[in-house]
Amino acid sequence: MKKLDILLDNKILSLIIIVICLASFLKPWLLINGILIGSLYSLGSIGLSLIYGNLKFANMAHGDFMTLSSYIALTLMMFLFPNSENSTSVGPFTFKYELLMVMPLAVIIIGFMAVILDKLIFKKLRKLNATSAAIALCSLGLAVSIRGLIQFIWGTDSARFPRESKLFWDLPFRIKIPPDMFFCSVVAVIIAIIFYLVLFKTTLGKAIRATSDNPDLARITGINTDRIILYIWFIGGILAATAGILISVQQALITPVMGWKILIPLFAAVIVGGIGNPIGALIGGILIGITGELATGWINPSYKPAVYFFVLLIVLLLRPNGILGNKGRQF
Amino acid sequence: MDSILYFFIGFLIMSGIYSVFTVGLNIHWGQTGLFNIGIASFFLLGAYTAAIFSSPSPNLAKYEEYLWGGNFSQLTLLGVDIWFPIILLLSAFICILVAIPLAMVTIRLKEDYLALVTLGLAETLRIVFINETWLANGTRGMYSIPRPFDYINIGNYDYIYFVVVVITLIFVYFIAQKATNSPWGRVLRGIKDNETTMIASGKNVLKFKVEAFAFGAGIMGIGGALFTHGKRFIDPITFEPMLATFIIWSMLMVGGSGNNKGAIFGSFLMWGIWTFTQFLPGFLSDANLRFVFVGLIIILFQLYKPQGIIPAK
Amino acid sequence: MKTTPPILVAKEITAGYGNQVIIRNINLELYKSTITTIIGPNGCGKSTFLKSISGIIDPVEGRILINDIEVTNLNTFELSKMGLGYVPQSENIFPSLSVIDNLKMGGYILDNQKYKINLNKVLEMFPDLKSKLFDSASNLSGGQRQMLALSRALMLDPKIIMLDEPTAGLSPVIVDEVLDNIISLKKSSITVLLVEQNAKKALSISDKGVVFSFGKKVMEDDAKNILKNKQISKLYLGG
């Protein structure tokens, strides 16, 4: 029975891989788009995976952290550089130099906000020994509140960073790359690599993994796990904020629901890669991006969220521990 | 004076409809610990099932694009609208049909996977009903949906529908209460408190959870149908998560999860706050602040009063 | 021996999980360079006692003093700075880290220089680990795991070390090896508090024995006397 299961599941998996390869061969421009968009999903899902793997709950507010960072960056830009609408943009990209200056500031604000929210809410829940579902429920409440606050302050209409239209890069095989998208993907991959190095090569990263393995034992060895959890929130917040701003640049659009709408592909990427596995989340994000884009070659693009949902379902059905399985390196 | 009374009756009708959802959610979360944040999916399924089956065939002159209206509203027995309870049960049945396979895929896994899947389902269903105009008229929505006992004329139809809602709510409350106090309900609470003990005592925990999920989903389907016939207009925007999922969660948190009476009390209280805050002066009546409020309610009750105002015994 | 002040004093410790109290009013004093063994049936609160000393669970009542300094309300991670080492019974290593990283975490609060000195010291004591330094800790055998757990605790030069069933599930040869290590701890003037199922063997290397029953301390005496005590040996030492 078990053998049959494995066989069946390998057959379905290989079938899926064949379909994806065939589709990418037929419409390679969609594959490239998918990789580029997927790298942005990766950045969001790495932060989500970090929180999920270490604090053991699905953070429903992650998407709204992303949204908030874009609005904060926008406000900082308007406030610090009121003339940025007329300034020159960076090289072949549509965004202005000013954005690069306010981005670190907005990202750090979100990082600290995540830390404060942990102190206000999640620390208390840990003390109460709340179940992971109860903590996730609170993060859902937080998501609703943040969105309400965003809509209260900035309104429900969409916004965008000051930008200047630029030509796409034309490549063979009908591949057209908006320069912004390329920039965002490169930044996403660089940040993912930095994060990987922090996690696996520094003492802080090892302490994070130790805390994740066994918080009691970590305390016994003298690690201040409360502080480690704050670092986790800070890093998670930074990753969410960076992803949020980059996605706003790439879409040339900021809306109050952008973060909430992206939750399903992000969670799908986290589960595809195995919860708590940063490399898995990177691969998962890109795979989700590719699948979503390729699907638009044959079905109505407005069904993209449904495609992500079905990917999530298929993964839960076939590989609930992620495609790298249990053997994938965890945090 | 009359207009205030009508307004109040309208408020009671909506609170009663929300109570049905909250009782359904109470079976998921309060009794069994199933984390469903896609109440909107069953809300939508119940509502559209009721709308499609009760509406007459599409009127091409009005550019109605859906293919099939069940026109059940013609079904009467001795002058009584028996089509209405049939529609309610049909809505429940469709929800159960969708809930069972979904639960079987996810419930054996981590508890929060169910949340992700229900969340995804709600969004997916909404997109399907936006794009597939042949199904239910797309974004233009279904309107002029028949209502039960329309022929009784006592001035304001809302009085009649209020009675319909109250009777339905009593019925739902009764079966939920019956289920809660049955041996089946006790097993569910056992699963919530200590799953390992239940597995050790030989209970097929998975089966119980799937049943509980289907049961709760069915009740939510009834709520959806009740909503449809009350509002008489539904479109995909009706099922945005704020009013179709989040507020129901806040109702359960406030009232007391695990307790059907608390769930109903919470629905009236939260819907009251939601409705009457729009009369606050100045920026306080801003709908977005109510979002913030609903979110905070969920958080604060989890932190300081996880049992809600009327705790389970 | 009573002339020197005790290094660790536990006064009237009452502790448990949630509302359930497991141990009541336990008093215990530990003296420098001694081995004390707690014995008793399963579920009598031995592990709970160690956990409440180390702060993993907060005692409901009672005080804990190390070298006459009140440490009752200190966080667990601060106790390691006070010279208290603790090796829990199971899950006492970080499985997803390599062996060297486990030791690195053991010396988390040390500066780099001190860390290197202590690492060499610990590896000299447990040369078996040297060849496995870069392996994942999850691949170690049971005995090696215990050694890693013990060396992790020793990274901080503890004055007191509490070991919760260090020989559980090990083969007899390895059990002796572990007990030898414990004796050598005593020789390097570390105070040892031991919880053991292998009561006879443990008492034979101990200075003092303590008997727990139903969450209470029922007896405390020299280890030799406890080994001789007929009633105790019938009840807890297997005849």
Closest Cα in chain A, distance from residue B102 (Å): 9
Beta pairing, strands C20-30 & C8-17: antiparallel
Which band of pLDDT confidence, cut at 50, 70 and 90, is reported for residue A144?
very high
d(CA C26, CA C49): 8
d(CA B34, CA A134): 11
What number is the average pLDDT over the span C15-31?
85
Give percent of chain C above pLDDT 90: 14
Summarised one tens digit per residue, pLDDT across range C92-109 is 899 889 999 999 998 888
Taking CB atoms and an 8 Å limit, are C96 and A329 in contact across chains? yes
Beta-bridge partners for C84: C160
CA-angle at A272, arms to A270 and A276, nearest 5°: 40
Sign of CA dihedral B238, B242, B245, B247: negative
Least confident range of A6-10, A149-153, A155-159, A179-183? A6-10
Contact criterion met (CB below 8 Å) for A312 and A267:
yes
Burial per residue of B254-281, b for 16 or more beta-carbon CB atoms within 10 angstroms, e otherwise: bbbbbbbebbbbbbbbbbebbbeeeeee
The pair of structure tokens assigned to A43 is 């950045």
Closest Cα in chain A, distance from residue C76 (Å): 6
Q: What is the pLDDT of residue A178?
A: 84
**Whether pLDDT at C192 is above 50:** yes
User: Residue B168: which H helix or E strand, with range?
Assistant: helix B157-181
- Residue of C76, C97, C101 lying closest to A220 (CB–CB): C76
- Residue of C86, C94, C109 lying closest to A210 (CB–CB): C94
| pTM score | 0.90
Q: Does B196 touch chain A (CB under 8 A)?
A: no
The pair of structure tokens assigned to A293 is 């884009």
- Residue of A203, A206, A224 lying closest to C77 (CB–CB): A224
The pair of structure tokens assigned to C188 is 């390097």
Taking CB atoms and an 8 Å limit, are A218 and C105 in contact across chains? yes
Q: Which of residues 140-159 of A touch B (CB under 8 A)?
A: 140-149, 151-152, 156
What number is the average pLDDT over the span C18-31?
85
**Whether pLDDT at B253 is above 90:** yes
Contact criterion met (CB below 8 Å) for B136 and B129:
yes
Q: Which of A97, A56, A76, A27 is nearest to A214 (CA)?
A: A56
What's the mean pLDDT when you consider all of chain B? 90
pLDDT: which is higher, B196 or B173:
B173
CA B102 to chain centre: 18
What's the mean pLDDT when you consider all of chain A? 87
**Whether pLDDT at B69 is above 90:** no
Q: What is the pLDDT of residue A2?
A: 52
Widest Cα–Cα separation across chain B: 63
Summarised one tens digit per residue, pLDDT across range B261-272 is 999 999 999 999
Instruction: DSSP for A109-140, please give it.
Output: HHHHHHHHHIIIIIHHHHHTT--HHHHHHHHH
Find the residue in C nearest to A225 (Cα).
C77
Q: Which of A54, A59, A48, A44 is nearest to A331 (CA)?
A: A54
C–B touching, 3+ CB–CB pairs within 8 Å: no
Q: Which residues of A touch B254 (CB under 8 A)?
A: none
Which residue type occupies A153?
I
d(CA A118, CA A132): 15
Taking CB atoms and an 8 Å limit, are A207 and C91 in contact across chains? no
Q: Which residues of A touch C78 (CB under 8 A)?
A: 222
Q: What is the pLDDT of residue A250?
A: 87
The torsion angles phi and psi of A320, rounded to 5 degrees, stand at: -60, -20
Closest Cα in chain A, distance from residue B183 (Å): 25
Which band of pLDDT confidence, cut at 50, 70 and 90, is reported for residue A326?
very low
What number is the average pLDDT over the span B124-131?
94
**Whether pLDDT at A218 is above 80:** yes
- Residue of A216, A223, A330 lying closest to C105 (CB–CB): A223
CA-angle at A112, arms to A106 and A114, nearest 5°: 105
The torsion angles phi and psi of B246, rounded to 5 degrees, stand at: -60, -45
Burial per residue of B152-172, b for 16 or more beta-carbon CB atoms within 10 angstroms, e otherwise: eeeeeebebbbebbeebbeeb
**Based on the number of CB atoms within 10 Å of its own CB, is B77 exposed (0-12), middle (13-18) or buried (19 or more)?**
exposed
Find the residue in A nearest to C161 (Cα).
A220
**Whether pLDDT at A10 is above 80:** no
**Whether pLDDT at C71 is above 90:** no
Which band of pLDDT confidence, cut at 50, 70 and 90, is reported for residue C76?
confident
Q: What is the pLDDT of residue A328?
A: 38
The complex scores an ipTM of: 0.92
What number is the average pLDDT over the span A192-199?
89
A91 torsion bin: left (phi>0), alpha (psi -120 to 50), beta (else): left
Summarised one tens digit per residue, pLDDT across range B176-209 is 999 999 999 999 988 888 888 888 888 888 999 9
Taking CB atoms and an 8 Å limit, are B120 and A57 in contact across chains? no
- Tell me which DSSP letter residue B58 carries: P
Q: What is the pLDDT of residue A7?
A: 54
Summarised one tens digit per residue, pLDDT across range C126-175 is 888 888 889 888 888 888 888 899 999 999 889 999 999 888 888 888 88
Sign of CA dihedral C150, C155, C157, C158: negative
Beta-bridge partners for A163: A95
Q: What is the pLDDT of residue A1?
A: 45
- Residue of A221, A330, A331 lying closest to C152 (CB–CB): A221
Q: Does B302 touch chain A (CB under 8 A)?
A: yes
Q: Does C139 touch chain A (CB under 8 A)?
A: no
- Residue of C78, C95, C108 lying closest to A221 (CB–CB): C108
**Whether pLDDT at C238 is above 70:** no
What number is the average pLDDT over the span B124-133?
93
d(CA C41, CA C206): 19
Q: What CA–CA distances, in Å, run from C85 to C50, C53, C55, C76, C205?
A: 11, 11, 12, 10, 20
What number is the average pLDDT over the span A219-235?
93
Instruction: Tell me how crowded residue B8 is: count the other CB atoms within 10 A of its CB.
Output: 12
**Whether pLDDT at A181 is above 90:** no
d(CA C7, CA C84): 10
Q: What CA–CA distances, in Å, run from B92 to B42, B81, B86, B220?
A: 9, 18, 10, 7
Which band of pLDDT confidence, cut at 50, 70 and 90, is reported for residue B72?
confident
d(CA C23, CA C53): 12
Beta-bridge partners for A169: A177
Beta pairing, strands C160-164 & C84-87: parallel
Q: What is the pLDDT of residue A212?
A: 87
What number is the average pLDDT over the span A44-59?
92
Q: What is the pLDDT of residue A327?
A: 40
d(CA A264, CA B217): 21
**Whether pLDDT at B239 is above 90:** yes
**Whether pLDDT at B172 is above 90:** yes
What number is the average pLDDT over the span C223-235?
79
The pair of structure tokens assigned to B79 is 């002058």
What number is the average pLDDT over the span A20-36?
85
The torsion angles phi and psi of C159, rounded to 5 degrees, stand at: -90, -30
The pair of structure tokens assigned to A196 is 């990987």
Taking CB atoms and an 8 Å limit, are B299 and A142 in contact across chains? yes
Q: What is the pLDDT of residue A170?
A: 77
Which band of pLDDT confidence, cut at 50, 70 and 90, is reported for residue B296?
very high
CB pairs under 8 A between A and B: 136
**Based on the number of CB atoms within 10 Å of its own CB, is B190 exposed (0-12), middle (13-18) or buried (19 or more)?**
middle
Taking CB atoms and an 8 Å limit, are C75 and A213 in contact across chains? no
**Whether pLDDT at C2 is above 70:** no
Contact criterion met (CB below 8 Å) for A219 and C79:
no
Q: Which residues of A touch C104 (CB under 8 A)?
A: 203, 206
Beta-bridge partners for C72: none
Q: Which of residues 124-143 of A touch B (CB under 8 A)?
A: 124-125, 128, 130-134, 136-138, 140-143
Q: Does B116 touch chain A (CB under 8 A)?
A: yes
Which band of pLDDT confidence, cut at 50, 70 and 90, is reported for residue C73?
confident
Q: Which of A54, A70, A107 is nearest to A218 (CA)?
A: A54
